[in-house]
Structure 1
Amino acid sequence: MKTDLQLKKEVTEELDWDPAIDAAAIGVEVREGVVTLSGHLPSYAEKLAAEHAAEKVSGVRAVVVNLDVRPTGEFSDEAIATAARDALQWHVHVPADAIKLRVEKGRVTLTGEVEWGYQSKLAERAVSQLRGVTGVTNQIKMRMRPAPNDVVERIEAALRRHAEREAKHISVSMKEGTVTLSGRVGSRAQRLAAVGAAWSAPGVGAVVDDLELS
């Protein structure tokens, strides 16, 4: 098992490795495997990148993000709203007409109703990368429809296609449109692949990620 000191060193190195992150602006503290990131960053996208970088490091149990977003330059809420609307309109897989957005002090709130769970995630990702955005609240709901009786089997089959060995260690259950994933995976990439497979299944309105990194 890695010590907290070793984890701090590796998280710091991972932040420095990513060219999209200003590692010098981020403080790293580790206690019992829990990483805390603190500091001020110029974009919400960089904040997300820092969080994901810390999660990549083997041995990290959890990440606490105390990073403030302070955009460089002046961005009015009206300008951000226009850019966000354009981003949704241009994204081929996002039903922009079904999504409404509100911007307050740089924070974008998404509402509406979509057919598929993955569309909600794509909409959130699209606006997260925009200049001036300080945060995103995703309140998009999925239009409820009956899930196929074999939806769990479909998700398990998708997991096997992505990584057959890791799929053996993942348990899938579903209740009232919510899929719960439990078990162990070897990396954050495998974790994201498992969650993505669950979101892509028909009738899935929420995904609970109880997967642990081994």
Structure 2
Amino acid sequence: MTNTIEKTDVELKTDVLSELKYEPSIKVTDIGVLVKDGTVTLNGYATTYNEKREAVRAVKRVAGVKAIADDIEVKLPSSMHRTDGDIATAAANQIASCTIIPTKTITPTVREGWITLDGQVEWWYQKNAAGNVVHYLSGVKGVSNNISIKPKLTTMAVETAIQSAFKRSALFDASKIQVETSQNEVVLSGKVRNYSELEEAERAAWAAPGVFSVDNNLTLESFGFDT
């Protein structure tokens, strides 16, 4: 018989705060945590966009989190303030120096410290790399990755590649995840144990060549133990 164990909001808040304290890149005293019905709201401020990003990623690792509202504001120290022109130049240079990103395929635009990436690449990992190389730049307050992916493989080939990747993964149970594809658009359904597994399944789906859309309908299963 399986008994379901649900964390109370107080227990979940305690776990979230502990995970934030465990992450060395986060100044937890500047971040507030509110929990209601399993939804975690983060507020307060971070001194860099990377710190804000890591705070959200830390919460995703906590079992029992059903949803996350990210209200953290990036407040840059005066020493880190840069003009949009300086940030745009730095972003363009970072993208150009990344060897896995095809040259002259991505254009960064900066407004009030927020970078928007536009362009087209063949693989998801190239799009992901472009976002990763600019998110930690000094002066950046946020990143919108609008890069599109140009499909080259058939729908069946995409589905086969994703299912094979799931079966190889040691991070989640592939038998609990269903994959459907249509014109290089992927729909994931089924159950995973936590946000980290949900995110990893989506990452594996995006990593398949030719995928340009992933609709992640995975849900979190209840936690329990056998008696």
TM-score, with normalisation over the residues of structure 1?
0.94
Q: Does residue 204 of structure 2 align to residue 197 of structure 1?
A: yes
Greater RCO (Cα-Cα under 8 Å, separation 6 or more): 2
Moved over 6 A (4+): none
Gaps of 5+ in 1: none
Deviates more, 1:44-53 or 1:136-145: 136-145
Q: Does residue 47 of structure 2 align to residue 42 of structure 1?
A: yes
Where in structure 2 are the equivalents of 1:1-214 lying within 5 Å?
A: 1-72=6-77, 73=79, 74-163=81-170, 166-214=173-221
> How many residues matched?
214
Amino acid at match of 1:118: Y
The DSSP-based 3-state class of the residue aligned with 2:156 is: coil
Structure (1 or 2) with the larger CA radius of gyration: 2
Conserved 8 A contact 1:117-1:206: no
Structure 1 Cα separation of the partners of residues 171 and 131 of structure 2? 30
Deviates more, 1:101-110 or 1:197-206: 197-206
Conserved 8 A contact 2:155-2:184: no
Amino acid at match of 2:182: K
Structure 2 Cα separation of the partners of residues 157 and 129 of structure 1? 33
Structure 2 Cα separation of the partners of residues 96 and 107 of structure 1? 22
Deviates more, 1:33-42 or 1:200-209: 200-209
Structure 2 Cα separation of the partners of residues 171 and 14 of structure 1? 30
Amino acid at match of 1:169: K
Deviates more, 1:43-52 or 1:176-185: 176-185
The DSSP-based 3-state class of the residue aligned with 1:95 is: coil
Structure 1 Cα separation of the partners of residues 96 and 24 of structure 2? 29
* Superposed displacement of residue 146, structure 1: 4.5
Taking only the aligned residue pairs, the percentage that are identical comes to 37
Structure 2 Cα separation of the partners of residues 50 and 96 of structure 1? 32
Let me know the Cα RMSD of the aligned residues: 1.6
Conserved 8 A contact 1:166-1:186: no
Structure 2 Cα separation of the partners of residues 34 and 148 of structure 1? 36
Amino acid at match of 1:66: D
Amino acid at match of 2:49: Y
The DSSP-based 3-state class of the residue aligned with 2:218 is: strand
Conserved 8 A contact 2:32-2:42: yes
